[in-house]
Chain A
Amino acid sequence: MAAMATTTASNGDGRKLRLFVLLSVVHVALSLFVPALPGWKMFSRVVPFQYRLVDAAGRAVRFDDIAPLPHYLTGPGPVQEAAEWLAQRDNAPVGLSVRAGGQWDLLVLPTGSTSECGEQDRRRLCQRLRSAWEDEGR
């Protein structure tokens, strides 16, 4: 009986191991096709970029100012998410300018939607974004 009990336990353990490995492989396979899924990508892609973020009052904001946890910015995505968070928190539009190959100047609204700043855009935050690139300390 003791031997049978051991056999049953070991069979169950073997099944648990196989199930775990199966789930882990499925997770990896999904992460290959679903970019938003956290996977084991390990700095496989780094997009060099620069940004300027200004709050509703026109003050320059650094990513580190609003995101205190350790992080490596491997692309502009988290900065855009941070801009949306800031706009929602202050319930006011914020300005975000990103240079990664080209340049995108955006107003990020509290709803999460964006409005592009034109070259001659006279809106205050758009003008502030253009001048933010001349600021020091970035």
Chain B
Amino acid sequence: MRLLRLRERSASLARLHGRLIGLCLGAKAIEGVVLGRGVVFAGEAFAPDGHVPAPGLAAYVAVVAVQLSAAVALAAARAPRWLLVAAALATSLDTLVATQNNRLFLTVMVWLVALGPRPDPERRSYWHLDAAAWQLAIVYVSAAVHKITPNYLSGATLRHLSEMPHAILGFTAPLENPHVATVAAYLVVGTELGLPALLFGGPKRARVGIALAAGMHLTMAVVLPDAWTFSLVAIVSLLPFVPERRVVPRTSLGEREGAR
């Protein structure tokens, strides 16, 4: 439970985090418009992993309008809570119509910004930033656990992935070598398992973890460009790990019964 304590954070960090999540939200909304997500909402195109029936074009226009309004309001640091909650609901619907991991991840982060406390110079902790940090760590561990299979560790999955269309710039070419693919598979799993330990391991290790994670996500964005949102949201979610000040002692934050 010691790890689950609230850390002291500045209002400026909370504001920056909100702005960047708003940027991700706005960018994803615009991408959806450009790629024809409206056609999917209208029921005229198929959406892989859709969990609700196509709700219609009018619903899509409303979703995008709310998402863009929230993104602009967050950028201006003038986002009322009702608008953020509406944006979180709209993003949830957007994700249910065509679910992808990168959209699910963005949806979680938008909900955290919507439900978290507003940036305030008097406030010393922001639980939603701690939650975002934990969410990222859980994503890393979960992704690693799912990969601990003979098939993945043999490098076969990475080789198949490198053969898919959309992988660009030749970054995946070395994976055609089975030995390289095997080493890469172990590196991926090792990195995903090791990152939470680094990120939660104090300021010095956190800096190393942030650099390593940012590098990994930038590489992912190049190799698998269609999943760019995931990398962007993950990099934004590294912000809560940026060392600011000392961790607030449990007593001063009034944690648990000791403060009563």
Q: List A residues at the B interface (Cβ < 8 Å).
A: 6-8, 10-11, 13-14, 16-18, 20-21, 24-25, 28, 31-32, 38-48, 66-74, 78, 81-82, 85-86
Given the known interface contacts A39-B146, A73-B164, the answer about A17 and B227 at a Cβ–Cβ threshold of 8 Å is: no
- Chain B contact residues: over half helix, strand or loop, or mixed? helix
In chain B between 138 and 173, which residues have their CB closer than 8 angstroms to a CB of chain A? 138-139, 141-143, 145-147, 149, 151-152, 157, 160-161, 163-164, 166
Q: B224 near A: Cβ within 8 Å?
A: yes
Residue in A43, A67, A72 whose beta carbon sits within 8 Å of that of B47 in the complex:
A67
Q: Name the A residues within 8 Å of B134 (CB-CB).
A: 17, 20-21, 24
In the complex, the answer to whether B146 meets A46 with C-beta atoms within 8 Å is no
Interface residues of B (CB under 8 A from A): 4-6, 35-37, 39-40, 45-49, 98-101, 104-105, 112, 115, 117, 125, 127, 130-131, 134-135, 138-139, 141-143, 145-147, 149, 151-152, 157, 160-161, 163-164, 166, 224, 226-227, 253-256, 259-260
Closest chain-B Cβ to A62's Cβ sits at a distance in Å of: 11
Q: Taking the nearest CB of chain A, how far is it from the CB of B55, in angstroms? A: 15
Say yes or no: B48 contacts A71, CB within 8 Å: yes
Question: What is the CB-to-nearest-CB distance from B234 to chain A, in angstroms, rounded to a whole number?
Answer: 11
Known contacts A17-B127, A31-B142; is-contact A78 B254 (Cβ 8 Å): no
CB distance from B196 to the nearest CB of A (A): 12
Q: Distance (Å) between the CB of B188 and the closest chain A CB?
A: 9
**CB proximity of A83 to chain B, nearest CB, Å:** 9
Q: How far is the CA of A72 from the CA of B48 in the complex (A)?
A: 10
Do A43 and B49 touch (CB < 8 A)? no
Whether A40 touches B35, Cβ cut-off 8 Å, given contacts A10-B255, A69-B48, is: no
**Is the beta-carbon distance between B5 and A14 smaller than 8 angstroms?**
yes
* A132 vs chain B, min Cβ distance (A): 19
Residues from chain B with Cβ under 8 Å of A13 in the complex: 6, 117, 125, 127
Query: Besides A32-B145, A38-B101, 15 other CB < 8 A contacts?
Result: A6-B254, A7-B259, A24-B135, A25-B138, A38-B99, A44-B149, A44-B152, A45-B146, A47-B160, A48-B160, A69-B35, A71-B226, A72-B161, A72-B164, A72-B166
The docked-state distance in angstroms from the alpha carbon of A32 to that of B36 is 32
- Evaluate contact between A40 and B254: CB separation under 8 angstroms: no
Known contacts A39-B146, A40-B142; A69/B4 CB under 8 A: no
Return the chain B residue nearest A21 by Cβ: B134
| Cα-based distance from A124 to B101 in the complex (angstroms) | 39
Query: Which one of B4, B39, B138, B145 contacts A17 once the chains associate, using CB atoms below 8 Å?
Result: B4
Cβ 8 A contact of B46, one of A17, A46, A66, A73? A66
Residue among B36, B101, B130 making CB contact with A41, cutoff 8 Å? B101
Closest residue to B139 on the A side, CB-wise? Answer: A40
Q: Which residues of A contact B260 (CB under 8 A)?
A: 7
Q: With A and B bound together, what is the CA distance between A40 and B139 in angstroms?
A: 6
Whether A78 lies near B131 (C-beta < 8 A) is no
Could you write out 17 A-B pairs with CB less than 8 Å apart? A6-B254, A14-B4, A14-B253, A14-B256, A25-B138, A28-B138, A38-B99, A40-B105, A41-B143, A42-B101, A43-B161, A43-B224, A44-B147, A44-B152, A68-B39, A68-B40, A78-B48
How far is B166's CA from A66's CA once the two chains are assembled, in angstroms?
17
Select from chain A the residue with minimum beta-carbon distance to B134.
Answer: A21
**What are the residues of chain B within 8 A of A10 when measuring CB–CB?**
6, 125, 253-255, 259
Complex partner residue of B48 from A16, A24, A45, A67, CB under 8 angstroms: A67
Whether B157 contacts A45 by the Cβ 8 Å rule is yes
Asked if A86 contacts B46 (CB within 8 A), the reply is yes
Question: Complex Cα distance A68/B44, Å?
Answer: 10
